[in-house]
Structure 1
Amino acid sequence: MPTQLDWYLHLNLKTRHLRLLVMLDDLGSLKKVAEATHVTLPAVSRALAELERGLGLELFVRTSQGIRATEYGECLVRHARNILTDVQQVRDELNSLYNGSGGKINIGVYPASSSVLVPKALHLLKQRSPNTNAQVIEGTRPLLLPQLWEGKIDLIVGRLPAVPPSSGFDEKALLEERLVLVTGPQHPLAKRKHLQWSDLQTYPWVLPSPASQIREPFERILEMQGLEFPKNYIETMSVQIARSYLYGSDAISVLANTAARDKFQPLAVLPLALPPMLRATGIMWNRNRPFSAATELMMDCLEGAAEAIRETARSQANPVF
């Protein structure tokens, strides 16, 4: 005979209950939920009480700061988020089928990977399937990985982080890019064929932000070469901002080779070799979530774009490996 919990979960739990749980967890206040949903505070309180009574569990406790989820509430909220994300994806796919669209892909991108690889892949996507649409979300790893786990994004493209097999994520390497030191073409060092690391000491820098995978190993390289950490610098995750700033200043930066050699706004690559510091650029996905047709197509386009980048590098006798 089913328990009260089994009965309620199978027959009475509705998506409105799940939305209520997520909002309570996000806002931490019955009053804020009432204001956000334009209903009365007693109505929100009654809805929570009915849900707790139906499940036979206490989901939230009241504190001086508002409300806080219990361990039962945390469990239910976590699954509620996943279920609501799945419902959203079902809605999007059904709308795509009904409207004759090829579907939609949500891509998380680390800023350093957005300037070359992803645009090329998006061009391929639109050539192969004009009605398949894409949303590109730029962000750092701490921002994007939770969204990938929750199913809010389908793929992450960027420098692959070191994550254990137990993480639930799978990956595929696409480009083994090397990093290079760069300046604007007008820089005093831009035309020099031979340089010492000490030649860089007096110039300002455009550094990757502390959240970047590049930052910590690059600091170690500066230390190994006997250079003090720069006192005059700006920090950015944006390749576009870094490139534009370099064009108008005497600053130096470190970028992936493909980003440095953009044909529309190329940078000068300084003749100082950097050792391999990072893993390859590639794709990450949540192995627990099935691929949609749009996701599979986008992965094919990313692989095609990576091959095109490698071929261009080979033809220019400028390998990225």
Structure 2
Amino acid sequence: MANPNLRHLRLFLVTVDSGSVTQAAMSQNVTQSAATQALKRVEEAFDARLFDRTSRGVFPTDLARMLAQRVRRALDIMDRACESVSPRLRLTATAAQLRGLVAASQAESLSLGARKLGVAQPTVHRAIVHLESEVGRSLFRRTQYGSTPTRIGQLIAQAAQLAFAELRQAEMELAEAGSRGEMRIMVGAMPLSRTSVLPEAISRFQEACPKVDIRVHEGPYASLLAGLRRGELDLLLGALRPPALMEGMRQERLFEDELAVVCGPEHPFAKAGTVEIAALAASRWVVALPDTPARRQFDAFLSALGPSATGALVETGSQMLMRELLLAGPYLGCISRLQVRGDIDKGVLVRLAFDVHDSRREIGITTRDDWHPTRSQAVFLDTVRAVSQKFGR
């Protein structure tokens, strides 16, 4: 990723807006030659020709105007956070210091944060000390177990992460426009999306956009959502959550799914015409982890079966483990119907004729409210929407 000087970016914006290096130099209180060098550094950082230099002056290119929109958004995010805690911080904080703050916040350790950045621990320590001197307050609580960010530390670190994410978006837009640079879409994917929408969507998308990489992140929903909020992910595919829990997020419904009760083909229930509720309740179950929508729905289902529900549970977020347990022993599984549709169609698993009432849930796309997709990202979103149509609305 480009690692431009923040003061250089401010000077770049003034140059684009005013069309004058002289005015830009005056606005940043530097000489014109220093301003000219700063603009060259910005071009080097983004590996793009941003200005046409003629005898009549310096004129921004189309790439410069494109970059300016993202830079303005990035600096606005950073400035709002900085100004809320210290009027000077927006002008004195450097990108390197903010990266040190972000790394230490994520690792909850200055030494581990330094290791992540590939620098010495004193370098990160000095960065934190400088920021704290400007803010006039501690940004970390130091304990025997490490360093956890304070509320203000978290505020500045998250703003920095979102600002850096906006600059990554800028790099991608420049690459899409023909400048050199990598193009990558970061997708957080819950299990259902990984076995239904995502494979076909990725295949279709890369047929149309063969130079764009897709990086799929897996993990618990809370972890993926946190990554989305920090700007580490572009979008999240999975079950939608109640709007009250999703402040700052935008959710788009694609289709509905429901839970299914499944077993292996050798299970006694697989060939039974009907299954007694008592036998169903007393079975051993493989189910989703606690505090997930699927698990809450299963718990309600199990409770409705009555007090005889005494079967042992295996709790897992792994579809592979569930499948192997169902094939290896007398287990029943309660899982998304679409998630195991392929296994059912191939005869690997058998769906029992037993409905899990009130288990329908909305599946869709989650993004940040203020996220502006690049051209490639917009194409990917449209591809996901198109593939989702086969699963209904």
Say yes or no: TM over 0.5.
Answer: yes
SS at match of 2:243: coil
Mapped partners of 1:56, 1:221: distance in 2: 53
Instruction: Please tell me whether Structure 1 or Structure 2 has the larger radius of gyration of its CA atoms.
Output: 2
Instruction: Select 2:384's aligned residue among 293, 302, 307.
Output: 302
Q: Which residue of structure 2 aligns with residue 317 of structure 1?
A: none
* 8 Å contact kept, 2:173–2:375: no
Runs of 4+ in structure 1 deviating by more than 6 angstroms, as ranges, are none
Give distance in 2, aligned partners of 1:302 and 1:183: 30
Look up the SS of the partner of 1:189 in the other structure.
Answer: helix
Structure 2 residue identity aligned to 1:57: G
* 1:15-44 Cα shifts (integer Å, max 9, x gaps): 101012223334455555566644363x55
Are residues 1:216 and 2:302 paired? Answer: no
- Counterpart position of 1:58: 137
Ranked by relative contact order (alpha carbons within 8 Å, sequence separation 6 or more), the top structure is 1
Deviations 1:29-65, CA, capped at 9 Å, x for gaps: 5555566644363x55444444444x25234366453
- Counterpart secondary structure, 2:250: strand
Q: What does 1:71-150 align with in structure 2 at a 5 Å threshold?
A: 71-95=151-175, 97-99=178-180, 103-150=183-230
**Could you say if the C-alpha distance between residues 6 and 117 of structure 1 is closer, same or farther in structure 2, counting changes exceeding 3 Å?**
same
Give the match's secondary structure for 2:377.
helix
Return the alpha-carbon distance in structure 2 between the equivalents of residues 275 and 152 of structure 1.
37
- Per-residue deviation, 1:283: 1.1
CA, structure 1 residues 208+48, in 2 after alignment: closer, same or farther (shift >3 Å)?
Answer: closer
SS of the residue corresponding to residue 98 of structure 1 reads coil
Contact 1:112 1:237 in 2 (8 A): no
Equivalent-residue separation in structure 1 for 2:158 and 2:285 (angstroms): 43
CA contact (8 A) 1:171 1:282 kept: yes
Does the CA contact (< 8 Å) of 1:261 and 1:267 recur in 2? no
- Look up the match of 1:255: 335
Q: Could you list the per-position Cα deviations for residues 95-134 of structure 1 after superposition, in whole angstroms to 9, with x for gaps in the alignment?
A: 5643487x32111111233212221222221233222221
Matched to 1:82, the amino acid is L
- Matched to 1:76, the amino acid is I
SS in 2 for 1:164: helix
TM-score (norm 1): 0.82
Q: Give secondary structure in 2 for the equivalent of 1:114.
A: helix
TM-superposed CA distance for 1:228, in Å, is: 4.1
State which of 237, 242, 251 in structure 2 corresponds to 1:157: 237
CA distance in 1, matches of 2:124, 2:335: 51
Q: CA deviation at 1:210?
A: 0.9
Q: Which residue of 2 aligns with 1:171?
A: 251
Say if 1:218 and 1:129 are closer, same or farther in 2 by CA, change over 3 A. Answer: same
8 Å Cα contact 2:262-2:350 kept in structure 1 = yes
* Distance across 2 between alignment mates of 1:305 and 1:14: 43
Listed one character per residue, the Cα deviations across residues 187-242 of structure 1 (whole Å, up to 9, x for unaligned) are 11112232232232443211111132111221121121225444433222222332
Matches within 5 A, 1:183-202: 183-202=263-282
Partner of 1:267: 349
More deviation in 282-291 or 21-30? 21-30
Relative to structure 1, is the Cα distance of residues 226 and 153 closer, same or farther in structure 2, using a 3 angstrom cutoff? same
- After superposition, the CA RMSD in angstroms is 3.0
- Residues 295 and 276 (structure 1), Cα distance of their counterparts in 2 relative to 1, 3 Å cut: farther
Deviations 1:140-171 (A, max 9, x none): 22111111112211111111111228711111
**Displacement after TM superposition at 1:252 (Å):** 0.6
For 1:318, the equivalent position in structure 2 comes to: none
Q: Percent identity?
A: 23
One-letter identity of the residue aligned with 1:246: L
**Partner Cα distance (1:62, 1:233) in 2:** 40
State the partner residue of 2:76: none
Are residues 270 and 169 of structure 1, via their aligned partners in 2, closer, same or farther at CA, if it must alter by over 3 Å? same
User: Is the contact made by 2:161 and 2:231 (CA closer than 8 Å) also made in structure 1?
Assistant: no
Relative to structure 1, the CA distance from residue 199 to residue 39 in structure 2 (aligned partners, 3 Å threshold; closer, same or farther) is closer
Provide, for residues 238-270 of structure 1, a one-character-per-residue CA deviation record: whole Å limited to 9, x for no partner. Answer: 223322321222211112222333144542111
Distance in 1 separating the partners of 2:149 and 2:279: 57
The residue number in structure 1 matching 2:320 is 240
| Cα distance in 1 for residues equivalent to 2:233 and 2:371 | 11
- Structure 2 residue 90 is the aligned partner of structure 1 residue 9: yes
C-alpha contact 2:238 2:364 (8 A) present in aligned 1: yes
Q: Name the TM-score, length of structure 2 as normaliser.
A: 0.68
Aligned partner of residue 237 in structure 2, secondary structure:
strand
